[in-house]
Chains A and B, each alone.
Chain A
Amino acid sequence: MAQVTLRAPLSELCGGRSHEIEGATVSDVLAALEHAHPSIAGWVLDEQGRIREHVNVFVNGTHGVAETQVGPDDRVQVLPAITGG
């Protein structure tokens, strides 16, 4: 299972920073994370299942998108985008 790392406030909503989640793509992993922790429903993915515009997901340190493949030993980091100047 992928190792998913969260920052506050997501980590607070999910009861911790680190979570083992199964999924073949970033989209699958985030949906499974939401399923395991309904308290973040609507926070990372909008109601249409899209990653929110200002949330970044990295897979093994590389910026990922919804379709990015995720392996069982991969590291998935979810964090707010650096926005502004």
Chain B
Amino acid sequence: MAELLVGTKKGLFRLEGDAGNGGFEVTARAFAGQSVEYAMRDPRSGRYLASVTSWFYGPKIWVTDDPAGEWQQAEGIALPEGEEQALERIWVIVPGEADGVLYAGGAPGPLFESRDGGVTWELNRPLWEHPTRSDWSPGAGGLCLHTIAPWPGDPQKLLVAISAVGVWLSDDGGETWRHSNTGIVPEYVPEDARDNPIQHCVHDVRRAPGRPERLFMQFHGGVYRSDDAGATWIDVGEGLPSDFGFPVVVDPADPDSAYVIPLIGAEDRTTPGGTVQVWETRDAGTSWTARGEGLPARDAYLTVLRESFDSHGEGEGLELYFGATSGEVFGSADAGESWTQVADHLPPVYSVRTA
């Protein structure tokens, strides 16, 4: 039995079922009518956390032990008073490595940290007050800190990514930060303007837990891999039908295995040729194979957003799930070999996370 938390334009949906047999059903709904950008379940505590942006009353994080029950508003999700900007939204919530620690990233580029399981939060000042901040530029989705990748077993090491700024690394638990975009080519700026080290529209980064120095990145134009903990990046997108896309997923059992969902470039952002396919590499990006059995093969122009692709388990039993802004959620129980539609007619899907 799998549990999916699906954040949508019209609330949070919990789906439960079996990807091998289809048959998922909605077992909880919360925040009806509000945008739920992201929801996850902390595997350590079992607690659910959701990022919700009310059209009227602004962004909040909510926590609960029962997604069908009462939710408690978390404290501290705000930018410092006395500044020009207000918090726009929270994009992502990720468990840290230390007990009770979680991180949340949002727009316009803040990183928050909680040390009590998500009930109270504090802004990471060193990144917020980084001397380069005045040079940070937003992508189409805003100036969003959307990726947080802790290092398994070492709470001092952290990678975050911000669009359209790039990758940031810390080796001291977030006390200091350095940008790390060497090797990434921002082809969307003129060739003679590519020296700027912080203009990189990173879309998503996932770390291979079994080899933490190995990372895969879906960039605005290109898929990249790092074998040195994000210090340098190499283009591994050759063979994909498009260099554009949003999410990337890795197989925890195999640091050479990753999955992306290419979309026709920035001007369109739909599945190429009306065919929905997940592309898989088993050799660290040297080659890519389309996995589409059971997915819509014609007249299907889907958009899959950054946080809408996730996995559960590993190896041959790796389960994969992704959702589309057209309201479908698809799942695979065999590492992408075959797929079934596990939900239809949901509101536009903003995020999918396995619990």
| Interface check A32, CB cutoff 8 A | no
Which of A22-30, A41-49, A57-65, A66-74 lies at the interface with chain B?
A41-49
Asked if A47 and B81 make an inter-chain contact with CB atoms under 8 angstroms apart, the answer reads yes
A46:B58 contact, CB within 8 angstroms: yes
Distance (whole angstroms) from the CB of B88 to the closest CB of chain A: 10
Count contacts between A and B, CB distance < 8 Å: 41
How long is the Cα–Cα vector from A46 to B85 in the complex, in angstroms? 9
**Among A44, A46, A50, A83, contact of B55 (Cβ-Cβ < 8 Å):** A83
Task: Please determine whether A81 and B78 come into contact, CB atoms closer than 8 angstroms.
Answer: no
Partner of B60, one of A42, A54, A83: A42
- Is A36 interfacial (CB-CB < 8 Å)? no
A40 to chain B: closest residue by CB: B57
- Identify A43's interface contact among B57, B80, B84, B85, CB under 8 A: B57
> CB distance B56 to A52 under 8 Å?
yes
Query: Is A44 in contact with B78, judged by CB distance below 8 angstroms?
Result: no
Cα distance A43–B194 in the bound complex, in angstroms: 41
| Contact call A48/B84, Cβ cutoff below 8 A | yes
B81 touches A54 (CB 8 A): no
A42 vs B60: C-alpha distance when bound (angstroms): 9
CB pair A42 B78 closer than 8 Å: yes
Q: Is B264 an interface residue (CB 8 A)?
A: no
B290 CB contacts on chain A under 8 angstroms: none
**CB of B82 within 8 Å of the partner chain:** yes
Contact B55 A47 (CB under 8 A): no
Say whether A80 contacts B56, CB under 8 Å: yes
- Shortest Cβ distance from A9 into B: residue: B57
CB pairs A–B below 8 angstroms (30 shown): A9-B57, A39-B73, A42-B57, A42-B58, A42-B60, A42-B77, A42-B78, A43-B57, A43-B58, A44-B57, A46-B58, A46-B86, A46-B87, A47-B78, A47-B79, A47-B80, A47-B86, A48-B79, A48-B81, A48-B82, A48-B83, A48-B86, A52-B56, A52-B57, A52-B58, A54-B55, A54-B56, A55-B56, A80-B55, A80-B56
Binding site for B on A (CB under 8 A): 9-10, 39, 42-44, 46-50, 52, 54-55, 80-81, 83
13 further A-B pairs in the complex, CB-CB below 8 A; given A42-B58, A47-B86, A55-B56:
A10-B57, A42-B57, A42-B77, A42-B78, A43-B57, A46-B78, A46-B86, A48-B81, A48-B83, A48-B84, A48-B85, A49-B81, A52-B57
